[in-house]
Amino acid sequence: MRSELCQLSIRELRERIEGGDSSVTEITQSFLDRIQQCDNKIKAFLTLEQESALAQAAKLDRELAEGKSGNGLLMGIPIAIKDNIVTQGVRTTCASRILEDYVPPYDATVMGKLTQNGAVLIGKTNCDEFGMGSSTENSAFFPTCNPWDLERVPGGSSGGSAAAVAAWEVPGALGSDTGGSIRQPAAFCGIVGLKPTYGRVSRYGLVAFASSLDQIGPLGKSVYDVAILLQAIAGADPKDSTSVARPVENYLSELDQGKDVKGLKIGVPKEWFGSALDRQIEQSIQAALEKLEGLGCPVVEVSIPQTEYAISTYYIIAPAEASSNLARYDGVKYGHRSAGQEDLESMFKCTRSEGFGEEVKRRIMIGTYVLSSGYYDAYFLKAGKVRTLLRNDYLEAFKKVDFLVGPTTPSLPFMMEEKKTDPLEMYLTDIYTVTANLAGIPGLSMPCGFSQEGLPIGLQIQAPHFQEAKLLRLAHALEEALDVQRPALAV
């Protein structure tokens, strides 16, 4: 039945399309019906492309009937895109008033790759403004709710993408991860989210927050779904000088070759297990580590000594880069412009005051301060040195082990408004995720259980640079071994 199609994974949907059991139009309409049914409660979408999605679906159905469709990895699969990834002809707001009516004249490279692979764009998802936040409460338009408990946050900043996948509104989505913005909401929403190695996926068309940290990545219901999305979007791009000209591995083949992970050595950083970690999360992670041992993976304790400085380092480097990147929003070329101003300086000031939210202003001010004369050496330069030390910690750890495994977040999904008035407490929710961005390595979050309250618990796996294939293989094996039983959604 069409109403059941929205509960299927990307893999299952592909099989139905390839077998002629369902049309692309039926599948697309099923997800649109689900969005109509529950998004007034979840509020995952900022822009819904209903008409164009159905038109694209009908076009793909005609091509399939005529045998002209090619072999796109995502042929006929509805996908949602975080609203800080530009889409030609489709409003891209970054969940900010300053870009409320901005319609890009071009596509991000990842959007072009999705289209080439036959994906159907369902819409653009809500996020924290310019990706700055950990709860999707910093959106200028409305907060997004967690599908497991509508009074709790879905995480952030890619909370809209994560919530949409978890609530069966789409089978897969793209987000961006600057300090945990894919992995943390994936953990809070009980799905899989991957931050690839910096340079593995093109950032062209990703609206910049912190250019040395930002990375686009996939979210899906399973490790396989995340692998197929990564397969579609990975690769070098001449439009992005930070993308790496390194061959893309066959991630799907790696998964299909088997789940034998025996002998892969697992490192557990002792710094990730302290008093701040929720007891239920710790118990769930320990149970997962026992499963890994049962699969033949030795588990040993390791150390990442600079972990205690990671949050401080991140919240110097990221705001500094944001201060520079967001200077372009001045009301001159595009975006919001304050009306009735008599001179250029007043127009600049009022445009930015009206257009940016509190958290964005806070980070711009922090970033401008640490870059200012007399403070650059004391803050920004020192943070860069600590970042190098942290990267060296990882290089040393990966000489001893193949992966690092631990919690994705220190706490369960928290209540709406619980941390919004305390920026420092909010920043600390990223304590286990920012390190991967600072070091440029890949990190994946996957469900490893549910709390007594029925809330998702996420486990994080980090790997050496460009080891996504091996990372996905381990996650796939662990996913099957855990076989997490999910309670009912709140919608």
What's the rounded Cα separation, in Å, for the pair 296 and 290? 10
Using one digit for the tens of pLDDT, what is the confidence trace for 203-262?
999 999 999 999 999 999 999 999 999 999 999 999 999 999 999 999 999 887 767 899
Q: 133 pLDDT band (50/70/90 cuts)?
A: very high
Mean pLDDT rounded to a whole number for the chain: 96
- Orientation angle between helical segments 109-116 and 223-233, nearest 10 degrees: 110
Spot the catalytic one: 157, 202, 445, 451: 157
Using one digit for the tens of pLDDT, what is the confidence trace for 351-386?
999 999 999 999 999 999 999 988 999 999 999 999
Q: 2 pLDDT band (50/70/90 cuts)?
A: low
Which DSSP helix (H) or strand (E) runs through 405?
strand 403-407
Query: By C-alpha distance, which of 420, 442, 422, 423 is closest to 433?
Result: 442
Q: 347 pLDDT band (50/70/90 cuts)?
A: very high
CATH for 2-261+443-482 (3.40.228.10, 3.40.50.300, 3.90.1300.10, 3.40.50.720): 3.90.1300.10
The two three-digit tokens of residue 294, written as one number: 């049962």
Spot the catalytic one: 43, 82, 124, 419: 82
Is it the case that residue 131 has pLDDT exceeding 70? Answer: yes
With helix as H, strand as E and coil as C, how does 225-239 read? HHHHHHHHHECCCCC
Q: Which residue reads 């958290």 in tokens?
A: 359
Q: Is 157 a catalytic residue?
A: yes
DSSP β-ladder status, 192-195 and 216-220 = antiparallel
Is it the case that residue 294 has pLDDT exceeding 90? Answer: yes
Domain range annotation of the chain: 2-261+443-482
Spot the catalytic one: 176, 181, 202, 243: 181
Number of separate helices (H) and strands (E) present in the chain: 17, 11
The pTM (predicted TM-score) of the whole model is 0.97
Q: Is 82 a catalytic residue?
A: yes
Using one digit for the tens of pLDDT, what is the confidence trace for 389-420?
999 999 999 999 999 999 999 999 999 999 98
